[in-house]
Amino acid sequence: MRRSKYDRPTHLANSGGEGVRLKTSAMIASIAGPDQRTAPAPFGHALVKIATSRPDVVGLTADLSKYTDLHVFAKAYPERFYQMGMAEQLLMSAAAGLAREGFTPFVTTYAVFASRRAYDFIFMAIAEENLDVKIVCALPGLTTGYGPSHQATEDIAIFRGMPGLVIVDPCDAHEIAQATPAIAAHKGPVYMRLLRGNVPLVLDEYGYEFELGKAKMIRGGNDALVISSGFMTMRALETAKALAADGVDVGVLHVGTIKPLDEATIIREASKTGRMVIVAENHTVVGGLGEAVAGALMRAGVTPAGFRQIALPDAFLDAGALPTLHDRYGISTAAMTESIKSWL
Protein backbone atom coordinates (compact mmCIF):
# COMPACT_ATOMS: atom_id res chain seq x y z
CA MET A 1 0.00 0.00 0.00
CA ARG A 2 1.27 3.46 -0.80
CA ARG A 3 2.55 5.32 2.18
CA SER A 4 1.69 8.97 2.71
CA LYS A 5 2.01 11.60 5.36
CA TYR A 6 -1.45 10.50 6.54
CA ASP A 7 -0.42 6.86 7.06
CA ARG A 8 0.20 7.29 10.78
CA PRO A 9 -1.78 7.62 14.04
CA THR A 10 -3.69 10.87 14.11
CA HIS A 11 -5.15 12.92 16.98
CA LEU A 12 -8.63 14.33 16.43
CA ALA A 13 -11.08 15.94 18.83
CA ASN A 14 -13.51 13.44 20.30
CA SER A 15 -17.00 14.32 19.11
CA GLY A 16 -18.31 13.26 22.52
CA GLY A 17 -16.98 16.24 24.44
CA GLU A 18 -15.50 19.66 23.85
CA GLY A 19 -11.76 19.84 24.41
CA VAL A 20 -11.33 16.09 24.88
CA ARG A 21 -8.58 14.56 22.74
CA LEU A 22 -8.91 11.04 21.43
CA LYS A 23 -6.08 9.09 19.86
CA THR A 24 -7.44 7.56 16.68
CA SER A 25 -5.89 5.87 13.69
CA ALA A 26 -6.23 6.37 9.97
CA MET A 27 -5.81 2.61 9.67
CA ILE A 28 -9.43 2.08 10.81
CA ALA A 29 -11.09 1.68 7.42
CA SER A 30 -14.18 -0.52 7.82
CA ILE A 31 -17.67 0.91 7.40
CA ALA A 32 -19.27 -2.23 8.85
CA GLY A 33 -20.76 -2.12 12.32
CA PRO A 34 -19.40 -4.51 14.98
CA ASP A 35 -22.32 -6.97 14.64
CA GLN A 36 -23.06 -6.42 10.96
CA ARG A 37 -23.03 -9.22 8.41
CA THR A 38 -20.25 -8.90 5.84
CA ALA A 39 -18.87 -10.71 2.80
CA PRO A 40 -15.15 -10.80 1.93
CA ALA A 41 -13.87 -9.33 -1.34
CA PRO A 42 -17.19 -9.43 -3.24
CA PHE A 43 -15.72 -7.80 -6.35
CA GLY A 44 -12.78 -10.19 -6.57
CA HIS A 45 -14.97 -13.26 -6.20
CA ALA A 46 -17.56 -11.95 -8.68
CA LEU A 47 -14.84 -11.30 -11.26
CA VAL A 48 -13.44 -14.82 -10.88
CA LYS A 49 -16.92 -16.23 -11.46
CA ILE A 50 -17.34 -14.15 -14.63
CA ALA A 51 -13.92 -15.14 -15.92
CA THR A 52 -14.74 -18.87 -15.81
CA SER A 53 -16.91 -18.41 -18.90
CA ARG A 54 -15.33 -15.24 -20.33
CA PRO A 55 -11.74 -15.78 -21.51
CA ASP A 56 -11.71 -12.16 -22.73
CA VAL A 57 -11.80 -10.85 -19.12
CA VAL A 58 -8.40 -9.69 -17.85
CA GLY A 59 -7.35 -7.81 -14.71
CA LEU A 60 -4.89 -4.94 -14.39
CA THR A 61 -3.82 -2.88 -11.41
CA ALA A 62 -1.35 -0.19 -10.40
CA ASP A 63 0.41 -1.89 -7.47
CA LEU A 64 -2.88 -2.25 -5.57
CA SER A 65 -4.24 -5.75 -6.21
CA LYS A 66 -4.44 -6.56 -2.49
CA TYR A 67 -6.21 -3.31 -1.69
CA THR A 68 -8.76 -3.53 -4.52
CA ASP A 69 -9.53 -7.26 -4.06
CA LEU A 70 -8.06 -8.03 -7.48
CA HIS A 71 -5.64 -10.43 -5.78
CA VAL A 72 -8.49 -12.96 -5.74
CA PHE A 73 -8.63 -12.84 -9.54
CA ALA A 74 -4.83 -12.84 -9.82
CA LYS A 75 -4.61 -16.04 -7.81
CA ALA A 76 -7.27 -17.77 -9.92
CA TYR A 77 -6.03 -16.52 -13.30
CA PRO A 78 -2.37 -15.47 -13.00
CA GLU A 79 -1.89 -15.61 -16.78
CA ARG A 80 -4.67 -13.01 -17.21
CA PHE A 81 -3.42 -10.62 -14.53
CA TYR A 82 -1.16 -7.62 -15.22
CA GLN A 83 0.70 -5.73 -12.50
CA MET A 84 1.51 -2.32 -14.02
CA GLY A 85 3.27 -0.72 -11.07
CA MET A 86 2.71 2.83 -9.82
CA ALA A 87 1.92 4.22 -13.27
CA GLU A 88 -1.80 4.97 -13.60
CA GLN A 89 -1.51 6.65 -17.00
CA LEU A 90 0.24 3.56 -18.35
CA LEU A 91 -2.38 1.39 -16.65
CA MET A 92 -5.23 3.10 -18.52
CA SER A 93 -3.36 3.16 -21.82
CA ALA A 94 -2.56 -0.56 -21.56
CA ALA A 95 -6.20 -1.31 -20.80
CA ALA A 96 -7.23 0.64 -23.89
CA GLY A 97 -4.79 -1.38 -25.99
CA LEU A 98 -6.11 -4.68 -24.62
CA ALA A 99 -9.70 -3.58 -25.30
CA ARG A 100 -8.77 -2.80 -28.91
CA GLU A 101 -7.53 -6.38 -29.22
CA GLY A 102 -10.85 -7.82 -28.07
CA PHE A 103 -10.24 -8.19 -24.33
CA THR A 104 -12.44 -6.83 -21.57
CA PRO A 105 -10.04 -5.26 -19.05
CA PHE A 106 -11.03 -4.69 -15.43
CA VAL A 107 -8.71 -1.99 -14.13
CA THR A 108 -8.28 -1.31 -10.42
CA THR A 109 -6.61 1.44 -8.44
CA TYR A 110 -7.65 4.02 -5.87
CA ALA A 111 -10.36 6.45 -6.92
CA VAL A 112 -8.10 9.46 -6.36
CA PHE A 113 -5.48 8.12 -8.77
CA ALA A 114 -7.98 7.29 -11.52
CA SER A 115 -9.91 10.55 -11.29
CA ARG A 116 -7.08 13.02 -10.66
CA ARG A 117 -3.96 11.47 -12.12
CA ALA A 118 -5.25 9.49 -15.12
CA TYR A 119 -8.28 11.54 -16.20
CA ASP A 120 -6.97 12.62 -19.60
CA PHE A 121 -5.84 9.09 -20.46
CA ILE A 122 -9.28 7.72 -19.61
CA PHE A 123 -10.93 10.50 -21.62
CA MET A 124 -8.78 10.23 -24.74
CA ALA A 125 -7.79 6.56 -24.86
CA ILE A 126 -10.92 4.91 -23.44
CA ALA A 127 -14.07 7.05 -23.31
CA GLU A 128 -13.70 8.88 -26.64
CA GLU A 129 -13.12 5.54 -28.37
CA ASN A 130 -16.01 3.90 -26.43
CA LEU A 131 -13.76 1.01 -25.43
CA ASP A 132 -14.92 -1.84 -23.24
CA VAL A 133 -12.84 -0.99 -20.15
CA LYS A 134 -14.17 -1.31 -16.62
CA ILE A 135 -12.45 1.00 -14.10
CA VAL A 136 -13.11 -0.23 -10.55
CA CYS A 137 -11.71 1.99 -7.82
CA ALA A 138 -11.37 1.62 -4.06
CA LEU A 139 -11.46 4.34 -1.37
CA PRO A 140 -14.29 6.43 -2.87
CA GLY A 141 -15.39 9.47 -0.91
CA LEU A 142 -14.72 9.27 2.82
CA THR A 143 -13.86 5.55 3.11
CA THR A 144 -10.30 6.14 4.25
CA GLY A 145 -8.80 8.20 7.03
CA TYR A 146 -5.60 9.02 5.14
CA GLY A 147 -6.64 12.58 4.39
CA PRO A 148 -6.97 14.54 1.11
CA SER A 149 -4.22 12.60 -0.69
CA HIS A 150 -6.37 9.44 -0.59
CA GLN A 151 -9.96 10.69 -0.10
CA ALA A 152 -11.73 10.80 -3.48
CA THR A 153 -14.46 13.15 -2.34
CA GLU A 154 -14.89 14.68 -5.81
CA ASP A 155 -14.50 11.67 -8.16
CA ILE A 156 -18.13 11.62 -9.32
CA ALA A 157 -18.03 15.35 -10.05
CA ILE A 158 -14.90 14.79 -12.15
CA PHE A 159 -16.29 11.84 -14.10
CA ARG A 160 -19.93 12.93 -14.57
CA GLY A 161 -18.89 15.28 -17.35
CA MET A 162 -17.14 12.58 -19.38
CA PRO A 163 -19.37 11.59 -22.32
CA GLY A 164 -20.30 7.93 -22.59
CA LEU A 165 -18.88 6.90 -19.20
CA VAL A 166 -21.26 4.88 -17.03
CA ILE A 167 -20.87 5.54 -13.27
CA VAL A 168 -21.92 2.96 -10.67
CA ASP A 169 -21.90 3.47 -6.88
CA PRO A 170 -22.87 0.20 -5.11
CA CYS A 171 -24.23 0.12 -1.58
CA ASP A 172 -22.92 -3.19 -0.25
CA ALA A 173 -21.46 -6.64 -0.99
CA HIS A 174 -24.79 -7.88 -2.35
CA GLU A 175 -24.93 -5.12 -4.94
CA ILE A 176 -21.24 -5.39 -5.87
CA ALA A 177 -21.74 -9.11 -6.59
CA GLN A 178 -24.62 -8.22 -8.93
CA ALA A 179 -23.17 -5.04 -10.45
CA THR A 180 -19.87 -6.67 -11.48
CA PRO A 181 -21.43 -9.07 -14.04
CA ALA A 182 -23.78 -6.29 -15.15
CA ILE A 183 -20.94 -3.94 -16.04
CA ALA A 184 -19.06 -6.85 -17.65
CA ALA A 185 -22.06 -7.37 -19.95
CA HIS A 186 -22.34 -3.66 -20.77
CA LYS A 187 -20.54 -2.60 -23.94
CA GLY A 188 -18.55 0.53 -23.23
CA PRO A 189 -16.52 2.19 -20.48
CA VAL A 190 -17.63 2.03 -16.84
CA TYR A 191 -16.38 3.63 -13.64
CA MET A 192 -17.46 1.76 -10.51
CA ARG A 193 -16.75 2.89 -6.96
CA LEU A 194 -15.56 -0.04 -4.86
CA LEU A 195 -16.10 -1.03 -1.25
CA ARG A 196 -13.41 -3.63 -0.59
CA GLY A 197 -12.34 -6.09 2.09
CA ASN A 198 -15.12 -7.24 4.43
CA VAL A 199 -18.07 -5.38 2.95
CA PRO A 200 -21.44 -5.04 4.73
CA LEU A 201 -24.45 -7.04 3.54
CA VAL A 202 -27.64 -5.00 3.61
CA LEU A 203 -29.74 -5.04 0.44
CA ASP A 204 -30.23 -8.80 0.32
CA GLU A 205 -32.65 -8.39 3.24
CA TYR A 206 -34.86 -6.25 0.97
CA GLY A 207 -34.85 -8.56 -2.07
CA TYR A 208 -32.88 -5.98 -4.05
CA GLU A 209 -31.72 -6.76 -7.58
CA PHE A 210 -29.27 -4.49 -9.38
CA GLU A 211 -30.19 -3.21 -12.84
CA LEU A 212 -27.77 -0.95 -14.66
CA GLY A 213 -29.31 2.51 -15.03
CA LYS A 214 -32.23 1.84 -12.67
CA ALA A 215 -33.03 3.38 -9.28
CA LYS A 216 -34.99 1.19 -6.86
CA MET A 217 -37.31 1.97 -3.97
CA ILE A 218 -35.99 0.03 -0.97
CA ARG A 219 -38.42 1.35 1.62
CA GLY A 220 -41.59 3.42 1.36
CA GLY A 221 -42.29 6.46 3.53
CA ASN A 222 -44.78 9.34 3.66
CA ASP A 223 -42.90 12.05 5.58
CA ALA A 224 -39.61 12.25 3.69
CA LEU A 225 -37.79 10.59 0.81
CA VAL A 226 -34.06 9.92 1.01
CA ILE A 227 -32.46 9.49 -2.42
CA SER A 228 -29.08 7.89 -1.85
CA SER A 229 -26.17 6.04 -3.42
CA GLY A 230 -23.25 3.94 -2.22
CA PHE A 231 -23.03 3.03 1.45
CA MET A 232 -25.18 6.06 2.27
CA THR A 233 -28.17 3.90 1.33
CA MET A 234 -27.15 1.63 4.23
CA ARG A 235 -27.03 4.69 6.47
CA ALA A 236 -30.38 5.90 5.11
CA LEU A 237 -32.03 2.59 5.97
CA GLU A 238 -30.55 2.68 9.48
CA THR A 239 -31.76 6.26 9.87
CA ALA A 240 -35.25 5.35 8.66
CA LYS A 241 -35.47 2.63 11.32
CA ALA A 242 -34.29 5.04 14.02
CA LEU A 243 -36.79 7.72 12.99
CA ALA A 244 -39.64 5.21 12.81
CA ALA A 245 -39.36 4.89 16.61
CA ASP A 246 -40.25 8.59 16.77
CA GLY A 247 -43.19 8.18 14.40
CA VAL A 248 -41.35 9.62 11.39
CA ASP A 249 -41.93 7.67 8.14
CA VAL A 250 -38.93 7.89 5.81
CA GLY A 251 -38.67 6.29 2.38
CA VAL A 252 -35.39 5.29 0.74
CA LEU A 253 -34.73 5.35 -3.01
CA HIS A 254 -31.38 3.77 -3.91
CA VAL A 255 -29.56 5.08 -6.97
CA GLY A 256 -26.93 2.46 -7.81
CA THR A 257 -26.20 4.04 -11.18
CA ILE A 258 -25.24 7.72 -11.10
CA LYS A 259 -24.87 7.97 -14.88
CA PRO A 260 -27.09 7.41 -16.77
CA LEU A 261 -29.38 8.71 -14.05
CA ASP A 262 -32.82 7.14 -13.73
CA GLU A 263 -34.58 10.50 -13.90
CA ALA A 264 -38.01 8.97 -14.52
CA THR A 265 -38.05 7.07 -11.23
CA ILE A 266 -36.55 9.99 -9.29
CA ILE A 267 -39.10 12.45 -10.69
CA ARG A 268 -42.00 10.06 -10.05
CA GLU A 269 -41.05 9.49 -6.41
CA ALA A 270 -40.12 13.12 -5.72
CA SER A 271 -43.45 14.29 -7.19
CA LYS A 272 -45.48 12.66 -4.43
CA THR A 273 -46.98 15.48 -2.42
CA GLY A 274 -46.01 16.36 1.13
CA ARG A 275 -42.57 14.71 1.19
CA MET A 276 -39.27 16.46 1.71
CA VAL A 277 -36.54 15.17 -0.60
CA ILE A 278 -33.13 14.53 0.97
CA VAL A 279 -30.19 13.40 -1.16
CA ALA A 280 -27.52 11.47 0.76
CA GLU A 281 -24.15 10.67 -0.78
CA ASN A 282 -20.57 9.82 0.15
CA HIS A 283 -19.26 12.69 -1.98
CA THR A 284 -18.80 16.43 -1.88
CA VAL A 285 -21.93 18.59 -2.17
CA VAL A 286 -20.47 19.85 -5.44
CA GLY A 287 -21.20 17.99 -8.66
CA GLY A 288 -22.47 14.67 -7.34
CA LEU A 289 -25.81 12.92 -6.95
CA GLY A 290 -27.38 15.84 -5.10
CA GLU A 291 -26.84 18.31 -7.91
CA ALA A 292 -27.80 15.68 -10.51
CA VAL A 293 -31.12 15.07 -8.73
CA ALA A 294 -31.73 18.81 -8.22
CA GLY A 295 -31.14 19.42 -11.92
CA ALA A 296 -33.50 16.65 -12.95
CA LEU A 297 -36.26 17.97 -10.66
CA MET A 298 -35.77 21.54 -11.85
CA ARG A 299 -35.95 20.55 -15.53
CA ALA A 300 -39.13 18.56 -14.84
CA GLY A 301 -40.73 21.42 -12.91
CA VAL A 302 -40.99 19.35 -9.73
CA THR A 303 -40.94 21.25 -6.43
CA PRO A 304 -40.87 18.91 -3.42
CA ALA A 305 -41.81 19.98 0.10
CA GLY A 306 -38.22 20.94 0.82
CA PHE A 307 -34.90 19.80 -0.60
CA ARG A 308 -31.79 19.03 1.47
CA GLN A 309 -28.40 17.41 0.96
CA ILE A 310 -26.45 15.13 3.27
CA ALA A 311 -22.98 15.06 1.78
CA LEU A 312 -19.38 15.95 2.42
CA PRO A 313 -18.40 19.63 2.56
CA ASP A 314 -16.61 21.44 -0.23
CA ALA A 315 -13.34 21.28 1.68
CA PHE A 316 -10.16 19.29 2.22
CA LEU A 317 -11.12 16.79 4.91
CA ASP A 318 -9.24 15.75 8.02
CA ALA A 319 -7.27 12.55 8.54
CA GLY A 320 -8.27 10.17 11.30
CA ALA A 321 -10.52 7.25 12.18
CA LEU A 322 -13.60 6.80 10.01
CA PRO A 323 -16.18 6.76 12.83
CA THR A 324 -14.86 10.11 14.07
CA LEU A 325 -14.76 11.57 10.56
CA HIS A 326 -18.24 10.33 9.61
CA ASP A 327 -19.68 11.97 12.74
CA ARG A 328 -17.71 15.14 12.10
CA TYR A 329 -18.89 15.50 8.49
CA GLY A 330 -22.49 14.44 9.04
CA ILE A 331 -22.65 11.10 7.23
CA SER A 332 -22.89 8.74 10.21
CA THR A 333 -26.29 7.26 11.09
CA ALA A 334 -26.51 9.35 14.26
CA ALA A 335 -25.61 12.58 12.46
CA MET A 336 -27.98 11.83 9.60
CA THR A 337 -30.83 11.09 12.02
CA GLU A 338 -30.33 14.37 13.84
CA SER A 339 -30.17 16.33 10.58
CA ILE A 340 -33.43 14.91 9.26
CA LYS A 341 -35.16 15.46 12.61
CA SER A 342 -34.16 19.12 12.51
CA TRP A 343 -35.53 19.56 8.99
CA LEU A 344 -38.94 17.97 9.49
Active-site amino acid positions: 88
Q: Give residue-wise pLDDT tens across range 173-184.
A: 999 999 999 999
Q: Which residue has the higher pLDDT, 31 or 128?
A: 128
Q: State the amino acid at position 338 in one-letter form.
A: E
pTM for this model (two decimals): 0.93
Residue 34 confidence (pLDDT): 86
Q: Which has the minimum average pLDDT: 30-44, 196-210, 245-259?
A: 30-44
Q: Residue 127 in contact with residue 189, Cβ under 8 Å?
A: yes
In sequence order, the 6+-apart residues with CB closer than 8 A to the CB of 149 are: 4, 5, 6, 112
148 confidence band (pLDDT: 50, 70, 90): very high
Query: Does residue 339 have a pLDDT over 80?
Result: yes
Share of residues in the chain with pLDDT > 90 (%): 90
Q: CA torsion 55→57→58→61, rounded to 10°?
A: -160
Query: Does residue 27 have a pLDDT over 70?
Result: no
Q: How far is CA 14 from the centre of its chain?
A: 27
Average pLDDT of the chain?
92
Handedness of CA 169, 25, 107, 162 (dihedral sign): positive
Cα angle at 150 between 322 and 84, to 5 degrees? 130
Share of residues in the chain with pLDDT > 70 (%): 92
DSSP string, 276-323: EEEEEEEEESSSSHHHHHHHHHHHHT---S-EEEEEE-SSPPPPS-HH
- Kindly state the average pLDDT of the residues 290-310: 97
Q: Give the CA count within 13 Å in the CB-facing half-sphere of 26.
A: 23
The domains of the chain, with CATH numbers, are 38-200 (3.40.50.970), 213-343 (3.40.50.920)
Residue 29 confidence (pLDDT): 62
* Neighbour-count burial for 155-169, b at 16+ CB within 10 Å, e otherwise: bbbbbbebeebbbbb
d(CA 96, CA 126): 6
What H or E segment, with its residue span, contains residue 224?
Answer: strand 224-228
Q: Give residue-wise pLDDT tens across range 232-258.
A: 999 999 999 999 999 999 999 999 999
Q: Which residue has the higher pLDDT, 6 or 171?
A: 171
3-state secondary structure of 101: coil
